[in-house]
Amino acid sequence: MTDLDVALSLESSAPGRFGAVFPDGWQQGRGAFGGLVVAALVRAAAATSADLARTLRSLTAELCGPTLPGPADILVEPLRIGSGVSTLAVSLVQAGEVQAHAVAVFGRERDAAAAWTELAPPAAPPWPEVPVLPLSAAVGGPVFAQHVEFRPVRAPLFAGGDEARAEGWVRLKQPPAVRDAAWLALLCDAWWPAAFARMTAPRPMATIAFTFQPLVDASRLDPEAPVYHRATAPVARGGYAVELRELWSADGELLALNQQTFAVIR
């Protein structure tokens, strides 16, 4: 098992109740990297849904506070199990407080012919041609970045530019044994905020809301291949920025969509 597989291991104690242990080494600031927290919520919801004909269609999460390294409880409550859609609420509780909450929607396939992608695939150089950015806590990056390989394409940092944009190839250095929607959710959150392209110096930012739509069966993806991250933050008001993120495969398939609300802490 890789570090990620260990970090996302859940122990079921009763129906809809899971124990998790968030390891040291996955922090972003004081708490665990938000992508890891969301991935744990996805895993718990999927384990509770347990209907293989219904896959995750959407997850809307709020990251209420920092999930610290150590044990946590994840509680899943079915809100409604319909004929084609299951809706579940998921809460992560640590030290008696809810640190993260989500609503996950699982649905069976309905009309396979109703399929299109109006977003244009990114025009990106092949990932082997793009240099790796050595990002780690030792050079001012977040602690969790030690697990991730970044190959920026159009992602200036603190350039004071007129566009909040971030693009590049990203993958985990140790591919996980389990490739699922939780893995895609984590990859959606791996990149730094697109707003950093407009800023002239680092400023602490935190995700407070996270909406995620996986669009493919992740188990068929090559775990060694990177995905292409494309993001823009088209609006910021009152110390909060809204960012739209996309994940693409190397052959131009849209893998997932993600919208985040960031708080500029100071």
Q: What interhelical angle do 34-49 and 181-188 show, nearest 10? A: 160
Helix, strand, coil fractions of the chain, as percent rounded to 5: 20, 45, 40
Mean pLDDT in residue range 189-198: 96
Sign of CA dihedral 258, 20, 49, 55: positive
Predicted pLDDT of residue 205: 93
Q: d(Cα 22, Cα 20) in Å, to the nearest integer?
A: 6
Angle at 208 between CA 205 and CA 211, to 5 degrees: 120
Q: d(Cα 227, Cα 214) in Å, to the nearest integer?
A: 13
If pLDDT is split at 50, 70 and 90, which confidence band does 164 have?
Answer: very high
- Does residue 59 have a pLDDT over 80? yes
- Does residue 266 have a pLDDT over 90? no
Predicted pLDDT of residue 139: 67
Pairing of strands 240-248, 254-264: antiparallel
Residues 1-43 have pLDDT tens digits of: 788 999 999 999 999 999 999 999 999 989 999 999 999 999 9
Predicted pLDDT of residue 138: 67
Residues 233-256 have pLDDT tens digits of: 999 999 999 999 999 999 999 999
Q: d(Cα 249, Cα 218) in Å, to the nearest integer?
A: 11
Mean pLDDT in residue range 104-121: 92
If pLDDT is split at 50, 70 and 90, which confidence band does 136 have?
Answer: confident
Q: Taking all residues of the chain, what is their mean pLDDT, rounded to a whole number?
A: 95
Predicted pLDDT of residue 151: 97
Phi, psi for 4 (deg, rounded to 5): -70, -40
DSSP letters, 53-77, are: TEEEEEEEEEE-S---SEEEEEEEE
Predicted pLDDT of residue 247: 98
